[in-house]
Every structure is written in C-alpha cells, then in structure tokens.
Amino acid sequence: MGVSIYLNGKFITDRNKAMISAYDHGFLYGDGVFEGIRVYNGRAFKLEEHIKRLYHSAISIFMKIPMPQSKMTELVIATCRRTGLKDIYVRLIVSRGHGDFGLDPRKCSKPTILIMADKIELYPPKKYQTGLKVMTSCIRRNRPDCMNSQIKSLNYLNNILAKVETFKYGADEAIMLNDEGYVSEATADNIFILKNNHKIYTPPAYLGILEGITRGTVMELAKQMDYEVIEEPFTVHDIYTANECFLTGSGAELIPVIEIDERTIGDGKPGHHFKRLLAAYKDLTRNEGTPIYE
C-alpha cells in the first residue's frame, strides 16, 4: 500500500518497474498532456473538471485519447483505491506514445496512458505558516500565440528555467511576466493579490496563464465571502504595494507570499484574508469530491 501506478492496462506497485519506451514521444519531445489531481479525505477533488481539461488539452494537440472520459475517470479512481490512502496526489499523463526519432506524430501507434498516485510536497510545510519569498524571473512566459497556456502539456521547460533561476538567487519561487511586462503566474501556480482589504486581483487568461482549477475554486469562494474578485492585468509594482499575496495550484493548494524582490508585502506575515480563504478551501476539499472508497 502507498504508491499505485497504472501504465497502459496494468497496475504496478513498484515505481522502479513503471517504465515507458525510450522512443516514447512524451520523453523524446514533451509531446503529451497531463493533469495534477488531489484526493482529500478519500474524495477526488474536482475530478470531472480535471478529466475534461485533459481531453481539451489533447484536442488542441491533435491527439485522440483511446477511451471515453468516463473510463479514464474509473481508472483514476481504481489507481487511487489501490494506494489505501485517503490523501493522495495523482499525476495523470497521456503522451503521444512510442514512435521513432522523427517528430512525425503519425509514427506513434497509440498514446501512452500513465496514472501515478502518491504523496506530494511542493514546498516545505513551514512555508505555509511563514510565507514564501519570491523573485521576478527574467524568463518571460510563453506567448499564447506560440504555445497556448491552456494546453497543459508535458513541455514545461519555460517554467523550469524560471524555477532554476529561483535557486540561483536563493528565492522560494519566481513570478513570471508576459512579453509586455504584466504579471502572468508563478512557475507552477496562479497568483492573487489583495488590495484595499476587499478587492482580490488575479491575471486574466489572455496574459498567458493556465486557468487553474484551484484558481477557479478560490475565485468562487472569495465571491461567496463577499470579496470583489477582479481579473485584470497588473505589474510587479502592484505586488510590491499589495496588502497580501498568495499562490494557488492543485499541488501547492494555497500558499502565502510575504516578500518579492526583497520588498516586504503587507506586514511581512501571511495575511488575515489569506487565512480566511485557506480555511474555506480546506473545509470545501474535506467535504466535496468524487468518492474513492465506497
């Protein structure tokens, strides 16, 4: 019990035996799509939305997933159930599959389907109490007309280069700008800022962000809690002068940011409004989702 892996029709418990072909185009070229899904208290949160987004990403890259969404949902649930755990992180990957050295996707006979269910820790636990110190990356986010950010593809090199930069400069995370200098997102998370103690801002999709499922959930929670949620462009100056800042993502959940580019945000501590939203999010994820165990 613990790790559970589904790979092309077989369930595997030893992660060292979960192997794909060296000629798989997901490995050779990053040709594929993926989703990160969380299971809380035995319930897969927003599973339907994640599966739908996976298939939408596949449509955009001209890849047909060889099973209906309902079957993929069943496989995710079955993989999770085999872990015996109640809190799980799922990485669902569909690559173009085995091919040759060329780019031609027609040479790939069928997609590779890989579902991994395990635990995750993106940031040290104490950072959720103390907050992240972030920097503005010099790596610009891919333009949507070059690689549409709504395609959750296996090619994350743009994000990885920004992540490497954070380590070089001793930061916890990096904020990426688009080609016009507006804030887009962090290396793997969406960003929110709070101003005037009731207005919450987040960048709009056209700036090159992935419209995260956690992002959407937090926006809905904020509206229910009578915050004004505004999707509009903003610059790093707006982060410098914000009352609060936090990041969201399926893996990271909600995590506070207390410093950017050596400038303290607010009072330098995780804010009251962030804590309210985090509590609401945790309450929601504990009680909603697709049951894994029946």
d(CA 168, CA 159): 15
Q: Give residues with Cβ within 8 angstroms of 209, minimum separation 6.
A: 141, 149, 184, 185, 190, 203
Neighbour-count burial of 3, counting CB atoms closer than 10 A to its CB (0-12 exposed, 13-18 middle, 19+ buried):
middle
Q: Hey, how many other C-beta atoms are within 10 angstroms of the C-beta on 205?
A: 16
The structure tokens 């996707």 sit at 105
Q: What is the enclosing helix (H) or strand (E) of 75?
A: helix 69-81
Of 127, 133, 152, 163, the active-site residue reads: 152
Known catalytic residue at 152 = yes
Helix (H, G, I), strand (E, B) or coil at 16: helix
Half-sphere exposure of 126 (CA within 13 A, CB side): 2
Token pair, residue 121, equals 């820790």
Which residue numbers are catalytic?
152
